[in-house]
């Protein structure tokens, strides 16, 4: 009984004594200092990265703006992960007194075992590395990936975020990116088919279209060069089709098509060429022989 009392008194003295609280206070202070330094380093590194890319135009290595935005976000994320990981290791080693060597060795063995069951994660990271390394697409590009179309908001080593034009944010694992259609690399091509009724003359219709096409580059900055008439594309039941193509800035091919249709249709209507409508030609039975005779004469 006396021994238990002595142990309790010793424990109470240790708990209420200054040594424990001095040790705890020192440990908390060290943790705060380490975390504060980590936050400062991350913020400073972000500013340094921004400054480096601001001065990129003065150096010998030139990169596009789209690739610049991708690399900036990726470098900032990697630096933050590394700094916070180092801070976590320092807290375990210097403050809490854990043996880091055996801990890291155990983590390595555990990581090897987990790796066999985390093949999708490894595939996502490897795919993300090659997406960035090969510059398949960058932040700000309009792309079609795995049935999703939209603007790339962020590219990470594991996932890619694509914002649809209707506002949905799609988060795609990089491992599913097996085929990419990037609309932002080269100029787009607007393809417009214009229906003209058979009552109108082809030459007149093409003249009106050419007059309108000559004014489009001045009205719309995203149309590069004067749209070109390819010719009569199809002969339909009630009309023939004239195809027009135009080069546009990357990603603006759909806007180019809409504006070309609007401008051409307005001018065609003013010139008396209306939109063709379906029609039905009827013959009286009494006129059947006359009609057949006319066809035979045409064939001869």
The larger pLDDT score, comparing residue 39 to residue 291, is at 39
Angle of the 18-54 helix axis to the 65-90 helix axis, nearest 10: 170
Q: What is the CA radius of gyration of the chain?
A: 36
Nearest 10 degrees: Cα torsion 207, 209, 212, 213: -110
Domains of the chain from N-terminus onward: 2-117 (1.10.287.1260), 124-182 (2.30.30.60), 188-270 (3.30.70.100)
pLDDT, tens only, 180-206? 888 888 888 999 999 999 888 899 999
Please check the confidence at residue 257 and state whether its pLDDT lies above 90: yes
Nearest-angstrom CA–CA distance, 278 and 254? 27
The predicted structure's pLDDT at residue 139: 83
Do residues 148 and 172 make contact, with C-beta atoms less than 8 angstroms apart? Answer: yes
The larger pLDDT score, comparing residue 62 to residue 128, is at 128
> For residue 150, which of 138, 164, 135 has the smallest C-alpha distance?
164
SS3 category, 139: coil
> For residue 160, which of 135, 169, 63 has the smallest C-alpha distance?
169
pLDDT, tens only, 69-121? 777 777 777 788 788 888 887 777 766 666 666 655 555 545 554 555 567 77
Task: Give the confidence band of 130 by pLDDT, cuts at 50, 70, 90.
Answer: confident
> For residue 192, which of 216, 218, 165 has the smallest C-alpha distance?
216
Place of tokens 């980590």: 38
SS3 category, 220: coil
Do residues 227 and 191 make contact, with C-beta atoms less than 8 angstroms apart? Answer: no
Nearest-angstrom CA–CA distance, 260 and 255? 9
């Amino acid at each position: 009984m006396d021994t238990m009392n002595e142990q309790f008194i010793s424990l109470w003295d240790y708990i209420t004594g200054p040594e424990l609280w001095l040790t705890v206070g020192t440990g908390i202070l060290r943790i705060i200092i380490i975390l504060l330094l980590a936050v400062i380093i991350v913020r400073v590194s972000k500013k340094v990265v921004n400054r480096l890319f601001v001065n990129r135009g003065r150096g010998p290595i030139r990169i596009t703006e789209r690739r610049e935005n991708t690399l900036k976000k990726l470098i900032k994320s990697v630096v933050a992960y590394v700094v916070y990981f180092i801070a976590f290791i320092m807290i375990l080693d210097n403050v809490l007194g854990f043996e880091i060597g055996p801990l890291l060795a155990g983590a390595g063995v555990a990581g090897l075992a987990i790796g066999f069951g985390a093949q999708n994660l490894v595939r996502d990271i490897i795919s993300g590395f090659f997406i960035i390394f090969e510059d398949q697409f960058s932040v700000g590009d309009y792309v079609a990936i795995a049935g999703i179309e939209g603007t790339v908001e962020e590219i990470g080593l594991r996932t890619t975020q694509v914002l649809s034009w209707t506002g949905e944010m799609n988060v795609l694992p990089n491992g599913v990116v097996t085929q990419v259609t990037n609309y932002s690399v080269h100029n787009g091509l607007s393809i417009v088919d214009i229906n003209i009724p058979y009552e109108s003359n082809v030459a007149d219709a093409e003249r009106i279209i050419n007059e309108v096409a000559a004014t489009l580059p001045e009205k719309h900055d995203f149309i590069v060069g004067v749209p070109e008439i390819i010719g009569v594309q199809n002969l339909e039941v009630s009309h023939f089709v004239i195809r027009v193509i135009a080069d546009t800035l990357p990603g603006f091919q759909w806007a180019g098509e809409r504006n070309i249709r609007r401008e051409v249709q307005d001018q065609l209507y003013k010139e008396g060429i209306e939109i063709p409508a379906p029609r039905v030609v009827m013959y009286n039975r009494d006129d059947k022989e006359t009609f057949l005779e006319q066809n035979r004469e045409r064939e001869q």
